[in-house]
Amino acid sequence: MNAFKRAWRYITRRPTKSLLLIITFFLIGNLVILGLGISQAADNAKVLTRKQMRAAVSYEVDYDKYYEYVNTLEDEDEINKAYQNYPRVSEEAAIAISQDERVKAFNYMMTTTAMSDGFENVPIGNEEERGTSSYVDEAGNEVVYREPNLMIYANLFPEMIEFEEGTFTVTDGKMYDQNDLDQERNVVLITDELAETNGLRVGDTIRISTLNTYMEQEFKAHNLDTEVFFLELEIIGIFHNLNMVDPNAENFRWMSAYESPQNILLMPMTAYRNYYRDTLRAQIEFQQIAYSDSSINVEEAIENNLAPSRVVYLLIDPLEVDQFVEDHQKDIGEYLKLNANNETFKRLARPLDTMSFFANIVVWIVIVNAIVIITLVTALTLKTREYEIGVLLSMGVSKVKVILQLFTELFILALLGFTLAVGSGSLMAGTVGRAVLDYQTASDSQYGEVEDGGYYWHDSTDYFTEVSQDEMLSQYEVSVSPLLIFEIYVLGTAVVLIAIVIPSFMIMRLNPKQILLEQN
Amino acid sequence: MSAILRLENINYGYIDGGYRREILKNLSYDFEEGTFYTILGPSGSGKTTLLSIMAGLDKQESGKIYFEGEDVDQIGLYKYRRNKVGVVFQSYNLITYLNGLENVLLAMTETDNPLPKNKEEIAYALLNMVGIVNTKADRMVNKLSGGEQQRIAIARAIAGNEDLIFADEPTGNLDTETEKEIIKLFQMLAETYGKTIIVVTHSNEVSKLSDRRVLLKNGVLTDI
């Protein structure tokens, strides 16, 4: 009859006491599951939402921090200089970060609008409603303003996030490769719809420009050559873009043609930089001639503008985003940051965080109370069991075995109580959690709403997937996962272990002779 | 006959009302194997204290106890209680949430002495030997009479194959008829099974039935 068998006999042959303890553990278990369930469901909802969001991290200028610095400057020249020479993304740092094994793809990319020359853009469908823009020139003539209708993506590497994710797929020809980049070749990939609209094929050439109507007029007025603004590109590939214009979008009516995913051109950044350098030089020179502005250092201004405003990394696991940012923040330089769109996520998750925080507090309060209650119950019970312990000790049963028996009894009862609590506790956690969440969102809605057009990026490449608070909260669901059950049993065991400490000391002090003499 | 238990210069005392009271003074005695002893003495002479020390439930202040020539301190009190001796108390001291059979099995499980595998059969046989039939052995002990409980306590005391049995007023709570039966049981254990029985009693009737009567007086043991 070892300690385990004795423990079993004791709890089965003292049913009232056992039942009372089971009820105690059941109530404790319910409260623990309530707390843990709510907390875990909140964490799960956040994780699921994080997974829904793209694992994008942007390496960019920290304008807030930089402007804070600029605001501390007092000298006018220093302020102007600071505005002209704002920090730039470091190519070296960007490439070093891209070597991290958590990075799935990254875009070291510049984007710019352009105009087609000799071919048409893919129509959006709002042309009639939108109409055209015009202005009156110095001679009093109305000039129709030629607007950009193309968007150029110029990447420094052939492996673009869009291809990695499957948003872009080459349907004909090929993507430009490292050789094209190294050779700074003027090559381009166009969308299948753009190709179809204009009957273009791989091997054809297209001409684009970045010269708007106003500049064209101005250049001509000053007898300046505009040819530098025109670029001839050889089509080496045609790709399909899964993204489409949404005719139901709020801004559809005013959408420009270059905003259409079908009017995107892909070209090597090296070639684009050459073109950009030339056009920028021409523009600065024009400014110097037209406005006698000699303050601009042409080469410095050009070099400052040849880096992208940001670099975007796509990670393999969305849950590693925070750690990735933390790991690389120190490598990126002053007034630059790694942005994981966390502020938005944190704002949306605020109700869940608050609920999780209070749920955890409840768990700890319950655990502490449980330890105190079980300790008291066990200590009081021990007084009534001194005689039995005295007998066992007189027979040579070690005190450790007596404590083991006591622990086993409590453990079995805790196991039963917690097992019963798993079902009811999860139901309770679901109901209470949902009620608390509803209250939270009602009182916290001023924080929860997404700012109009938020998510940081206003250009065509928004790598942060938008999620609404409703979407995030819809992920909230209390379920008793194996992990939760495991946690409950671990906590239960810990409670029993701690609760047995004081009674154990009491047992260690017992003297069989004294007990049995008192009994006799 | 050789001594199964040797007491050498045992001293024990305690503070009572600010004065130290010596209970055992340089007490020495040899208990021989297979003998039924009764220890007599006036109230407060220290009979129960002596039995507690001999049974390893308490520790003497000085002096040595040898079991079969081996120092009990060397054996260790827990091991000594578990393997060498059995104790029977006046109020039986059975575990109340176990039945008679389980109380006996408890002693058999705890001992380190080699026992046959069929422990349950042996436990029933021991219970039968002390006069407890199987149906009673399966009952919870608090459903049994005082005499029956004491028989189970005796069976439990010898279940671990211990050779030395101590009993503290084992018939104190029993009627005269049952008292006689219990004493016969002790006699049988000593004569038939060679067990050494040491019974503390204040009853002359009981002591008359023992092989040897010993008096504890003024802290020392003397044969009567």
The contacts found for A209-213 with CB under 8 angstroms, 24 or more apart, are: A209/A114, A209/A115, A209/A117, A210/A112, A210/A113, A210/A114, A210/A115, A210/A148, A210/A279, A211/A115, A211/A279, A212/A115, A212/A145, A212/A146, A212/A147, A212/A148, A213/A143, A213/A144, A213/A145, A213/A146
Q: Has residue A248 been placed in a domain?
A: yes
Is pLDDT of A14 > 80? yes
Q: Has residue A61 been placed in a domain?
A: no
Is pLDDT of A441 > 70? no
List the domains of chain B with CATH numbers: 3-223 (3.40.50.300)
Shared domain for A229 and A281, answered yes or no, is yes
Mutate to test the interface with B, among A395, A401, A404, A511 (most CBs of B within 10 A): A395
By the CB < 8 Å criterion, does B173 face chain A? Answer: no
Domain count, chain A: 2
Is pLDDT of A251 > 80? no
Shared domain for A365 and A291, answered yes or no, is no
By the CB < 8 Å criterion, does A6 face chain B? Answer: yes
Share of chain B above pLDDT 90, in %: 33
- Residue ending a domain, among A307, A336, A368, is A307
Residues of B in contact with A392 (CB under 8 A): 95
DSSP A14-61: SHHHHHHHHHHHHHHHHHHHHHHHHHHHHHHHHHHHHHHS--EEEEEE
Is pLDDT of B46 > 70? yes
Distance CA A44, CA A316 (A): 19
Q: What is the mean pLDDT of residues A473-483?
A: 68
Q: What is the mean pLDDT of residues A137-163?
A: 84
Shared domain for A115 and A46, answered yes or no, is no
The tens digit of pLDDT for each residue in B163-193 reads 899 988 887 777 787 788 888 888 888 888 8
Shared domain for A246 and A355, answered yes or no, is no
Shared domain for A303 and A355, answered yes or no, is no
Six-digit token pair at A235? 């089509």
The tens digit of pLDDT for each residue in B104-135 reads 998 888 888 888 888 889 899 888 888 889 99
Shared domain for A362 and A279, answered yes or no, is no
Nearest chain A residue (CA) to B54: A513
Q: Has residue A217 been placed in a domain?
A: yes
Tally DSSP H helices, then E strands, for chain B.
9, 10
Output the pLDDT for position A269: 93
- Residue ending a domain, among A307, A334, A368, is A307
Q: Has residue A314 been placed in a domain?
A: no
Distance CA B162, CA B169 (A): 20
Q: Has residue A491 been placed in a domain?
A: yes
ipTM: 0.87
Shared domain for A158 and A30, answered yes or no, is no
Shared domain for A382 and A470, answered yes or no, is yes
Residues of A in contact with B91 (CB under 8 A): 519-520
Is pLDDT of A235 > 70? yes
- Global pTM value: 0.62
* Residue B92: band (very low, low, confident or very high) from pLDDT cuts 50, 70, 90: confident
Output the pLDDT for position A456: 29
Is pLDDT of A465 > 70? no
Q: Has residue A203 been placed in a domain?
A: yes
Tally DSSP H helices, then E strands, for chain A.
21, 12
Shared domain for A22 and A159, answered yes or no, is no
Is pLDDT of A446 > 50? no
Shared domain for A298 and A406, answered yes or no, is no
Is pLDDT of A452 > 50? no
Asked if A519 lies within 8 A of B91 by C-beta distance, the reply is yes
Q: Has residue A68 been placed in a domain?
A: no
Asked if A14 lies within 8 A of B109 by C-beta distance, the reply is no
Is pLDDT of A443 > 60? no
Of the listed ranges A17-26, A128-137, B60-69, the least confidently predicted one is A128-137
Domain span holding position A24: 3-51+350-519
Q: Has residue A59 been placed in a domain?
A: no
Output the pLDDT for position B14: 84
Highest average pLDDT, of A345-349, A352-356, A491-495, comes from A491-495
- Residue ending a domain, among A275, A307, A339, is A307
Shared domain for A299 and A372, answered yes or no, is no
Of A1, A14, A512, the CB nearest to B109: A1
Six-digit token pair at A156? 């420094």
Q: Which amino acid is at B128?
A: N
Output the pLDDT for position A42: 77
Shared domain for A204 and A277, answered yes or no, is yes
